[in-house]
Chain A
Amino acid sequence: MSERITKNMARNIYFGGGLFAILVFTGLTFDTVKQIPKLSHDDKITASVALGKKVWENNNCVGCHTIMGEGAYYAPELGNAFQRLGGGDEEVFKTYLAGWMAAQPMDIANRRKMPQFHLTPEQVTNLADFLIWTSRVNNQEWPPNIKG
């Protein structure tokens, strides 16, 4: 095939195809940015949810865990932690998370360890609110089951 294509043709495919691809992708980007607030319930981002995201980032939780399938694969998925660990009940989840964070690292020889982050009770509540909000994002029903 390459004999019949000249350098000029190849260059035109690059410029034409590239420009087309950029336009399509830009268009889709604008549409996605418009749709995300609704799909993710942007209006439910309270001050606590926003602070919780900061706690998540400032402690690099994503360095061990996935959240909606992205991150590291050392520790469990947390996008659905609210359902898995809190059974979908906000108070239960908050209590569970506070106990969990306080208990780290667990004293089980050679089990993978989660560090002690020394979070304040407010920070843990923020974190819980953030994970609850995340679990309600409309993400095409992922993961396949509750185990994450």
Chain B
Amino acid sequence: MKYSSQMVAKPYFIFALILLAGEIVFGLAMGAQYLYGDFLFPAIPFNVLRMVHTNLLIVLLLFGFMGATYYLIPEESERELWSPMLAKLTFWIFAAAGVATILGYLFVPYATLSASLANSFWPTMGREFLEQPTITKVGIVLVVLSYIFNTTMTVIKGRKTTISVILLTGLFGLAFFFLFAFYVPQNLAMDKFFWWFVVHLWVEGTWELILGALLAFVLIKTTGVDREHIDKWLYLIIAMTLISGLAGTGHHFFYIGTPGYWLWIGSIASAAEPIPFFLMILFAFNMSKNRRIQHDNKIALTWAKGTAVVGFLGAGVWGFFHTLAPVNYYTHGTQLTAAHGHLSFFGAYVMICFTLISYAMPILRGRPHGNGPKSQKVELASFWMMVLGMIGLTLALTVAGIMQIEMQRLPDAAHALGFMETQAAISKVYMVRLAFGVMVLLGLLTYFYSFFVKEEKAYA
């Protein structure tokens, strides 16, 4: 660790991992309720489980990005963080607000929450992924602003690199598009249109800039390839992100009351969206092939390559499956959507957090060369358990989606099965999904265990 202020990253990383465990536990609970409707009902209905699950995901990624930034920015800027105090303070505020919101979901009926003061004054609740009470949303804005301010000041006062500037651009974009969460028009079609400005323009726009910058940072550190080369790749990746991803938002504007030209524009532009993800694979593997140094933290590079590959699978391949309008006509809002949502979020964004954590945590814990070989072996096992578990879960949901489409969507009205009958017919596949989900949880527990592995003898 070159700068003592990098230490503030540590609680962010640890908390992100704890939230991930929570997310997966709630995922498993949902997987069980899918099969046994009385499981946890009426104590926790499905919609509550789901918003805990997805909101934990969003918040854990924000914690992961913040930890990654606070670790990376001092090193890139070659100076201490502008205000470590502010970073520590916002950690506690954000963590407390996050926990309070989740407890609110679990113990207060949603209708009571939405009748709360701030939300009656400015209603923003009850939309997918944006279920947070207005007051929590305001809190998120304040936390994110303080985070961006701290980062910007550090970058301005220090060395400016391509990585830090692109990371900052991504963060400004994240903050900007979140503002659309406060716009809830009474026209549902308009509401949906702008809802995607948060959801799509986060994961297939601004977050990809963050992802690219974080990936580039770890690749520089673990391969020693020179910056000229890394920067060039990074620019190409994010150029393709913007070119395909902005108009690509149109793949959500097929069937929600938006003009018909989106059928064409959305299909064509989004068909190019796998390109930046594919470039990330070439990027990671090329840099690793041309590496100048042999970093002892091998597992960090494994995570980096894994992020590129699984991100491409989830976003690029599974995204492409349903991105053309004529296909999406049948797949829209089925288990296939959930299949894609799982592998893309995990492969691209959860895995980039693991990459940073695996690279930075050993250093923050006083092991500049990474964890010892025994610990890395355990971590490698956890890598495969989680990756294969998520791929298995995704494949199961893909089969479920195809069956759903075959039974419910393709036949004419007289022969098609209803929604609930179709779900009953798929139930065996949901068992398989649940089993792979358990494997992911075991993988995460193995990962936690790797932090506590004792090495037999001291190593340099």
Contacts and interface: CB of A to CB of B under 8 A. Distances in A.
A60 B420 contact: no
Contacts of B114: 57-60
A37 interface: yes
Interface in B226-251: 228, 231-233, 235-236, 238-240, 242-243, 245-247, 249-250
A53 B191 CA distance: 11
Given A11-B235, A39-B259, A70 B192 contact: yes
Contacts of A17: 239-240, 242-243
Interface string A48-71: 011001101111111110111111
Interface residues of A, number: 75
B36 A110 contact: yes
Nearest to B184: A57
A10 interface: yes
B242 A144 contact: no
Contacts of B131: 60, 63
Interface string B313-344: 00000000000000001101111011000000
Contacts of A133: 188
A95 interface: no
A64 B50 CA distance: 8
Contact of B418 (A7, A39, A134, A147): A147
Contacts of A58: 110-111, 114-115, 123, 125-126
Contacts of A116: 42
Nearest to B420: A76
A63 B111 CA distance: 13
Contacts of B48: 60, 63
A69 B127 contact: no
B126 A60 contact: yes
A140 B254 contact: yes
A28 interface: yes
Contacts of A130: 188
A22 B42 contact: no
B451 interface: no
Instruction: Categorize the interface residue count of chain B.
Output: 35 or more
Interface string B126-146: 111001000000000000000
A5 B231 CA distance: 12
Given A58-B115, A74-B46, A50 B419 contact: no
A57 B51 CA distance: 13
A45 B186 CA distance: 8
A112 B37 contact: yes
Given A21-B243, A145-B413, A109 B38 contact: yes
The residue among A2, A60, A147 with the most chain B CB atoms within 10 A of its own CB is A60
Contact of B42 (A33, A40, A115, A142): A115
Contacts of B190: 33, 36-37, 40
A68 B232 contact: no
Given A37-B187, A68-B256, A60 B246 contact: no
A107 to B, nearest CB: 10
A109 B39 CA distance: 10
Contacts of B263: 140
A133 B228 CA distance: 56
Interface in B94-134: 110-111, 114-115, 123, 125-128, 131
Interface string A104-125: 0100011111111100000000
Contact of B333 (A20, A22, A36, A71): A71
A36 B412 CA distance: 30
A112 B420 contact: yes
A106 B253 CA distance: 35
Contacts of A37: 187, 190
B129 to A, nearest CB: 10
15 contacts: A5-B232, A10-B232, A13-B235, A24-B247, A25-B249, A35-B258, A36-B258, A58-B126, A64-B50, A67-B188, A75-B419, A112-B423, A137-B256, A145-B409, A146-B416
Interface of B: 33-38, 41-42, 45-48, 50-51, 110-111, 114-115, 123, 125-128, 131, 184, 186-193, 228, 231-233, 235-236, 238-240, 242-243, 245-247, 249-250, 253-263, 265, 282, 286, 329-330, 332-335, 337-338, 408-413, 416-420, 422-423
Q: Which 3 A/B pairs are nearest by Cβ-Cβ distance?
A: A63-B47, A57-B126, A69-B333
